[in-house]
């Protein structure tokens, strides 16, 4: 298994636990070249990989400064690591992701945040536990100063919003937020099962179903069959076509949904 290891406590704990589980591990460090000295952090990862019996690979990517930097860094990492690489996201990261998605107006799928298992095997661990594991093993994680940079939304959620929520509620909000993601995921998986039984191109049948099932069926149709993930606004316009309030609507990427004889068709504009 490929493990994404930045050298921080979460990813080092992931590396240790993956090796302890008997996996054949390749630890991959990705340097985004966004700050001085970042390349030297690969040595921390290599030392840990050697100690616990994993192979090691260092990669360098170029990410220019500018808007949406977090997302562009994530995409650059994934291009190098592959979609099945394991990451060291914890329950604390899950809570942060839920709050970020809420602020973006996410639907039920976004409120499910990251799905446990697969690429996210330690989502049930707390950040305090990964720190403790590194301390117990004498590992010295990299201290990444960008984790304190208020330019990044996640850092403000982590360092300002979650502590404020804890102060207001007088309790640790992270387990509660993580439970909310589980509930949202159960809901979306149940809706997906219902929507899978529906022909999403049959406008008359689709229009008779509950609105949330209509939306889910259309999203699955556009995503699974055509490799296109529609926005909330685009889904609303497609629903207008379903209910015969419009004969068609334009979508991103030069796509268009049209209704002919009660049947929906997705076309690519010339």
Read off the pLDDT of residues 4-19 as tens digits, 9 standing for 90 and up. Answer: 999 999 999 999 999 9
Query: Residue for token digits 């976004």?
Result: 110
Which residues make up the CATH 3.40.50.620 domain(s) of the chain? 2-88+119-146
The predicted structure's pLDDT at residue 225: 66
Residue 86, C-beta contacts closer than 8 angstroms, at least 6 positions apart: 1, 2, 3, 4, 14, 18, 119, 120, 121
For residue 106, pLDDT beyond 90: no
Please give the C-alpha separations between residue 241 and each of 24, 39, 211, 212, 227, in angstroms, as whole numbers. Answer: 51, 52, 14, 16, 20
Q: What is the pLDDT of residues 41-60, one digit of tens each?
A: 899 999 999 999 999 999 98
- pLDDT-derived band at 93 (thresholds 50, 70, 90) equals very high
What is the radius of gyration, based on Cα positions, of the chain?
A: 22
Which residues make up the CATH 3.30.465 domain(s) of the chain? 198-268
Which CATH superfamily does the domain covering 2-88+119-146 fall into? HUPs (3.40.50.620)
The predicted structure's pLDDT at residue 230: 85
CATH class of 198-268: alpha beta
For residue 227, pLDDT beyond 90: no
Q: What is the pLDDT of residues 179-198, one digit of tens each?
A: 999 999 999 999 999 999 99
């Amino acid at each position: 298994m490929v493990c994404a290891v930045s050298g921080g406590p979460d990813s080092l704990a992931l590396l240790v636990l993956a090796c302890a589980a008997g996996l054949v591990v390749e630890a991959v460090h990705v340097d985004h070249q966004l700050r001085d000295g970042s390349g030297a952090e690969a040595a921390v990862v290599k030392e840990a990989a050697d100690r616990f019996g994993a192979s090691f690979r260092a990669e360098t990517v170029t990410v220019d400064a500018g808007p949406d930097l977090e997302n562009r860094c994530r995409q650059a990492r994934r291009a190098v690591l592959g979609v099945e690489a394991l990451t060291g996201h914890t329950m604390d990261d899950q809570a942060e992701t839920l709050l970020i998605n809420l602020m973006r107006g996410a639907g039920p799928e976004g409120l499910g945040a990251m799905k446990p298992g697969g690429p996210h095997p330690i989502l049930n661990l707390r950040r305090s536990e990964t720190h403790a594991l590194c301390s117990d093993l004498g590992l010295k994680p990299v201290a990444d100063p960008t984790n304190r940079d208020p330019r990044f939304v996640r850092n403000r959620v982590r360092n300002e919003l979650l502590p404020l929520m804890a102060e207001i509620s007088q309790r640790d909000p992270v387990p509660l937020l993580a439970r909310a993601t589980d509930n949202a995921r159960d809901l979306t998986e149940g809706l997906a099962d219902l929507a899978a039984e529906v022909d999403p191109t049959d406008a008359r049948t689709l229009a008779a179903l509950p609105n949330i099932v209509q939306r889910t069926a259309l999203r699955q149709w556009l995503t699974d069959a055509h490799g296109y993930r529609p926005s909330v606004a685009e889904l609303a316009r497609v629903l207008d076509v379903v209910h015969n309030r419009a004969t068609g609507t334009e979508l991103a990427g030069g796509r268009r949904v049209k209704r002919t004889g009660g049947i929906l068709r997705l076309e690519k504009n010339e």
